[in-house]
């Protein structure tokens, strides 16, 4: 059983990171040139880490699956990035940002990490402005802030609805600068297929060049994984099509503990599924809930007629509409947190009140807001979102209510890391969404970007250096070592098996079936029976997959189906671990809702006595994974229950 040493530095909470920096080991400039670092992923965490480590003088190899580092899915984040700048003078502070994040995460995050996150948040904004990120500004020329869910202050910096894009392009610029300088070498269109461990330390990776099909070996003194989340295990999610959990999964299978896999965030305002051919779900900004009212028909008969297209929503009289969020949560109404709003929508649709041709949608109605504020005001606030909706759905949201439904959005779980972001494999680090991170059981809006950049710019450059300090006498690794040979062979065998399987069903057909199992049983609301069923069904599906999957084409050259086949094979294992984790966690917290553990009013019921820990799963070959627990101690924060019925939670 692995020992989980979180390596939290000594001292009071506010002094921990300073203490670490003051006492950490450093590498002198001449020696940095002798040390190689592999960074997998070019999103906010990966690009920022690769650029910053390159600036320090290390030799960095940076890998991404797309044709350019600028395409990583961080680019799609819309809302903004939090920081405790307190520019609006509304009482924000590092402590308050820390507190909100821990509370928003339902007390399942590590206190010291979250405090550090809040601490470095301000430097992120400074850094991005210096890079030329065009944040929104006020007329006086100073930076503008907006408010976001789960906070009482305005601390969110934004660049229109494209904050993720602008921050990523900032990091991409920094990365490009280092590529120009020669300190970072880019490897695009490369997929990491295995981690190589030499004498117990992470020393390299095996990749597939997706253009030539070549299997390549890369060695380094240390490996950083920043490959994002695994939301695509559900097939349909707001993640990009190529987002996958494979890199993280390879690390898990090589011995890195995987923490809290069941903590998945579901975003309540996405465009509903409209058919079997659908490939992806589109997020509509959460800000729509500020003015839109969510409802479903009160009578099932009306809902049925709407599903059949016999009735229009505008024909439903006011008294026959059920504004269920306003009914259930009078204080917060339509502005309850993401997890609460998502579950409530599912509950109504399961009860037969859903709309749309699938019955899996609820209305988000702007009629009252338009009557109250005028169409112009609504257009100024949401014009681009309404336009996007109309392009996709071909419905005018100014006239008929929008249809929305929850969708998988973000995974709080991930590779377990200690305070230094090092995994249970020495020399293997994980940053951004790929690690189990600082969000606990639920992430607040505008915090994903903050965490990615905090890890990349301000944590990994320090902690990776601390690790490398005693490696200066270790010469560069030859990729001819037997460990590399072995890893490459395993990868090639796996690919051979897939391509020669010659089954009868496509990769996507399996992925879709897995998605259905996951969504039905490991989705918004889970229970013992469903989770046990899911574990069984995933196992069976996995067996069928290896017997009957059809991967056309060859190992050489571009083969998109082969790329997908590898990822789906991993999802078929990862999905089971998620179900196991959800089954073992006999409580409801944040994004994890167990139907057996709720209050009489249907609210999440946490069990702090038995489950205030991080569940870090350890791979055990064909046997059942081993559960390791990292207890969470809250010394600087009072643990409370979230409450959204009354005015203050």
Partner 1 sequence: MDLTLKIWRQAGPTVKGKFEQYSISGISTDSSFLEMMDVLNEELIGKGEEPVAFDHDCREGICGMCSLYINGRPHGPDGGITTCQLHMRKFKDGETITIEPWRAKPFPVIKDLIIDRSALDAIIQSGGYISVNTGGVPDANAIPIAREDAELAMDAAACIGCGACVAACKNASAMLFVSAKVSQFALLPQGKTEAKDRVRTMVAKMDELGFGNCTNTYACEVECPKEIKVTNIARMNRHFLGAKVSG
Q: What is the DSSP string of 330-383?
A: TTTGGG--HHHHHHHHHHHHHTT---STTS--EEEE-HHHHHHH-HHHHHHHHH
- Chosen residue from 6, 31, 66, 471 binding partner 1 by CB under 8 A: 66
Among 199, 277, 371, 640, indicate the residue that binds partner 1 (CB under 8 A).
277
Binding mask 526-565 for partner 1 (x = CB under 8 A): ------------------------x-xx---xx-xx----
Assess 380 for contact with partner 1 (CB under 8 A).
no
Give me the least distance between CB of 561 and partner 1, in Å please: 6
Does 52 participate in binding partner 1 (rule CB under 8 A)? yes
Residues 41 and 455: beta-carbon distance below 8 Å: no
CB 301 within 8 A of CB 352: no
Strands 258-259 and 613-618: antiparallel
Q: Which is nearer to partner 1, 128 or 412 (CB)?
A: 128
Sheet of 264-270: strands edge to edge?
A: 264-270, 402-411, 362-365, 293-297, 321-322
Quote the least distance from Cβ 3 to partner 1, whole Å: 33
Query: Which of 29, 30, 89, 180 is close enough to bind partner 1 by CB under 8 A?
Result: 180
Least Å distance, CB 170 to partner 1, is 9
Rounded CA gap, 217 and 555, in Å? 17
**Buried residues in 316-342 as b, exposed as e (16+ CB within 10 A):** beeeebbbbbeebbeebbbebbbbbbb
Give the three-class secondary structure for 10.
Answer: coil
CA atoms within 13 A on the CB side of 334: 18
What's the closest the beta carbon of residue 633 comes to partner 1, in angstroms?
Answer: 31
Nearer to partner 1 by Cβ, of 6 and 66: the residue is 66
Nearer to partner 1, 241 or 377 (CB): 241
Q: Which of residues 70-129 bind partner 1 (CB under 8 A)?
A: 70-71, 73, 75-76, 85, 87, 123, 125-129
Catalytic residue at 348? no
- Work out how close the CB of 42 gets to partner 1 at its nearest, in angstroms, rounded to a whole number: 11
Tokens of 432: 């951004």
In the range 613-632, which residues lie near partner 1 by CB under 8 A? none
Q: Closer CB to partner 1, residue 105 or residue 354?
A: 354
Scanning 96-104, 169-177, 196-204, 582-590 for contacts with partner 1 by CB under 8 A, the matching segment is 169-177
Question: 109 and 263 in contact (C-beta within 8 Å)?
Answer: no
Residue list 196-255, contact with partner 1 (CB under 8 A)? 211, 238, 240-242
- Count of residues interacting with partner 1 (CB under 8 A): 82
CA angle 101, 413, 581 (to 5 degrees): 120
Angle at 326 between CA 324 and CA 330, to 5 degrees: 135
Among 6, 24, 154, 162, which residue interacts with partner 1 (rule: CB under 8 A)? 162
One of 208, 289, 338, 526 is an active-site residue; which one? Answer: 338
For partner 1, which stretch binds (CB under 8 A), given 4-12, 294-302, 504-512, 600-608? Answer: 504-512
Stretch of residues binding partner 1 (CB under 8 A), selected from 95-103, 166-174, 367-375, 584-592: 166-174
Asked if 471 interacts with partner 1 (CB under 8 A), we say no
Tell me the closest approach of the beta carbon of residue 123 to partner 1, in angstroms: 7
Q: How far is the CB of 164 from partner 1 (least distance, A)?
A: 8
Binding of partner 1 at residue 131 (CB under 8 A)?
A: yes
In whole angstroms, the minimum distance from the beta carbon of 635 to partner 1 comes to 29
Instruction: Tell me: does residue 274 bind partner 1 (CB under 8 A).
Output: yes
What minimum distance in Å lies between the beta carbon of 523 and partner 1?
A: 21
Q: Please choose, out of 2-10, 13-21, 66-74, 322-330, the segment that lies near partner 1 by the rule CB under 8 A.
A: 66-74
Residue 605 to residue 603: CA distance in whole angstroms: 6
Residues 6+ apart with CB under 8 A from 83: 97, 121, 122, 124, 125, 155, 157, 450
Which residue(s) pair with 613 in the sheet?
631
Among 335, 393, 555, 605, binds partner 1 (CB under 8 A): 393
Nearer Cβ to partner 1 (53/195):
53
Contact between 176 and partner 1 (CB under 8 A)? yes
Residue range at the interface with partner 1 (CB under 8 A); choices 159-167, 366-374, 482-490, 571-579:
159-167
The three-state secondary structure class of 313 is helix
Cα gap 123→110, rounded to integer Å: 21
Report if residue 275 touches partner 1, rule: CB under 8 A. yes
- Could you say which of 20, 63, 115, 135 contacts partner 1 (CB under 8 A)? 135
| H helix runs in 428-527, sequence order | 448-453, 460-468, 482-499, 507-521
What sign has the CA pseudo-torsion 325, 331, 334, 339? negative
**Minimum distance from residue 36 beta carbon to partner 1 (Å):** 19
E strands, 68-189, are 81-82, 146-147, 154-157, 184-187
DSSP 8-state code for residue 506 = E
Asked if 283 is part of the footprint of partner 1 (rule: CB under 8 A), the reply reads yes
Catalytic site residues?
Answer: 338
């Amino acid at each position: 059983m692995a020992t989980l040493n979180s390596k939290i530095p000594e001292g009071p909470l506010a002094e921990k990171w300073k203490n670490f920096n003051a006492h950490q080991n450093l590498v002198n400039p001449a020696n940095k040139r002798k040390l190689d670092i592999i960074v997998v992923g070019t999103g906010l965490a990966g690009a920022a880490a690769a650029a910053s480590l390159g600036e320090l003088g290390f030799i960095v190899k940076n890998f991404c699956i797309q044709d350019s580092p600028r395409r990583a899915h961080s680019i799609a984040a819309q809302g903004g990035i939090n920081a405790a700048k307190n520019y609006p003078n509304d009482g924000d502070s590092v402590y308050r940002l820390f507190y909100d994040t821990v509370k928003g995460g339902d007390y399942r995050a590590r206190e010291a990490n979250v405090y550090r996150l809040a601490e470095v948040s301000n430097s992120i904004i400074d850094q991005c402005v210096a890079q030329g990120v065009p944040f929104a500004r006020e007329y006086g020329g100073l930076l503008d802030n907006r408010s976001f869910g789960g906070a009482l202050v305005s601390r969110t910096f934004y660049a229109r609805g494209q904050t993720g894009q602008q921050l990523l392009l900032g990091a991409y610029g920094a990365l490009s600068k280092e590529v120009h300088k020669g300190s970072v070498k880019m490897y695009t269109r490369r997929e990491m297929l295995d981690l190589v461990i030499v004498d117990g330390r992470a020393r390299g990776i095996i990749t597939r060049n997706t253009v030539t099909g070549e299997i390549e070996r890369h060695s380094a003194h240390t490996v950083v994984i920043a490959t994002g989340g695994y939301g695509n295990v559900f097939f349909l999610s707001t993640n990009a099509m190529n987002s996958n959990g494979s890199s993280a999964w390879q690390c898990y299978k090589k011995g890195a503990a995987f923490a809290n896999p069941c903590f998945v965030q579901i975003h309540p305002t996405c465009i509903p599924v409209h058919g079997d051919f659908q490939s992806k779900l589109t997020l509509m900004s959460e800000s729509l809930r500020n003015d839109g009212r969510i409802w479903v028909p009160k009578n099932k008969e009306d809902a049925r007629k709407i599903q059949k297209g016999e009735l229009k929503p505008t024909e439903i009289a006011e008294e026959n509409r059920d504004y269920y969020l306003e009914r259930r949560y009078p204080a917060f109404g339509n502005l309850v947190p993401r997890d609460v709003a998502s579950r409530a929508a599912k509950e109504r649709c399961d009860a037969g009140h859903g709309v749309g041709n699938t019955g899996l949608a609820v209305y988000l109605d702007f009629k009252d807001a338009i009557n109250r504020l005028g169409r112009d005001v609504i257009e100024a606030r949401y014009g681009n979102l309404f336009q996007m909706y109309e392009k996709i759905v071909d419905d005018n949201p100014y006239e008929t209510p929008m249809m929305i439904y929850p969708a998988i959005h973000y995974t709080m779980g991930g590779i377990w890391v200690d305070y230094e972001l090092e995994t249970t494999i020495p020399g293997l680090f994980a940053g951004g969404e790929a690690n189990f991170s600082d969000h606990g059981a639920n992430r607040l809006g505008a915090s994903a970007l903050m965490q990615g950049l905090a890890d990349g710019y301000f944590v990994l450059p320090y902690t990776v250096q601390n690790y490398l300090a005693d490696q200066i006498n270790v010469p560069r690794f030859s990729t001819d070592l037997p460990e590399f040979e072995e890893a490459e062979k395993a990868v090639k065998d796996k690919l051979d098996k897939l391509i020669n399987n010659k089954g009868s069903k496509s990769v996507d057909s399996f992925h879709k079936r897995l998605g259905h199992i996951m969504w039905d049983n490991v989705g918004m609301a889970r229970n013992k029976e469903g989770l046990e069923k899911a574990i069984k069904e995933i196992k069976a599906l996995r067996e069928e997959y290896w017997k009957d999957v059809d991967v056309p084409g060859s190992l050489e050259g571009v083969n998109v189906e082969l790329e997908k086949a590898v990822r789906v094979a991993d999802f078929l294992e990862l999905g089971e671990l998620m179900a196991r984790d959800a089954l073992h966690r006999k409580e409801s917290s944040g994004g994890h809702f167990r139907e057996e553990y709720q209050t009489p009013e249907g609210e999440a019921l946490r069990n702090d006595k038995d489950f205030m820990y991080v569940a870090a799963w350890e791979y055990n070959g064909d046997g059942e994974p081993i559960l390791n627990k990292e207890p969470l101690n809250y010394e600087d924060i009072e643990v409370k229950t979230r409450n959204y019925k009354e005015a203050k939670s």
